[in-house]
């Protein structure tokens, strides 16, 4: 499976929230610099990304820019939180679930109709 246009479909609030959760989980809530400060920097990167197209300069204010160095890590943190919630809420789970950024490999042993139900469940 593949997530359709992941970078351009991550809402800033949810993506930054996933980053903050991961920072507090891995670094602890009292680390320096604070998770809030680092998330403020992430927001600046996401909302102040300037680029040139033809002869015009643009500022990307929605979604994650494909060319920034932080976007793969940002997308991984977002997808990790999303997949944890998704798999935890699934009544039937895959035998194997492996993900690399937005590409998912799974082994399903519960029949096609259950697979369709699994894929269609809300996140």
pLDDT at position 16:
95
Q: Are strands 56-60 and 49-53 parallel, antiparallel or unpaired?
A: antiparallel
| DSSP class of 3 | -
Q: Residue 64: which pLDDT band, with cuts at 50, 70 and 90?
A: confident
Mean pLDDT of the chain: 90
If one counts every other C-beta atom within 10 angstroms of the C-beta of residue 6, the result is: 20
Torsion angle (degrees, nearest 10) of CA 96, 97, 99, 103: 90
pTM over 0.85? The answer is: no
Q: What is the mean pLDDT of residues 112-123?
A: 90
Residue 28 pLDDT > 90: no
Q: What is the mean pLDDT of residues 35-49?
A: 90
Q: What is the mean pLDDT of residues 21-34?
A: 87
């Amino acid at each position: 499976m593949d997530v359709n246009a992941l970078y351009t479909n991550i809402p800033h609030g949810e993506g930054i929230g996933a980053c903050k959760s991961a920072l507090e989980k891995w670094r602890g809530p009292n680390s320096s610099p604070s998770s809030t400060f680092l998330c403020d920097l992430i927001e600046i990167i996401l909302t102040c990304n300037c680029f040139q197209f033809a002869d015009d300069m643009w500022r990307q204010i929605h979604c994650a820019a494909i060319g920034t160095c932080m976007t793969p890590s940002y997308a991984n943190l977002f997808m990790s939180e999303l997949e944890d919630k998704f798999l935890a809420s699934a009544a039937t789970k895959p035998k194997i679930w492996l993900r690399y950024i937005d590409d998912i490999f799974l082994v399903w042993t519960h029949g096609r109709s259950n697979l369709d139900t699994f894929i269609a469940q809300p996140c």
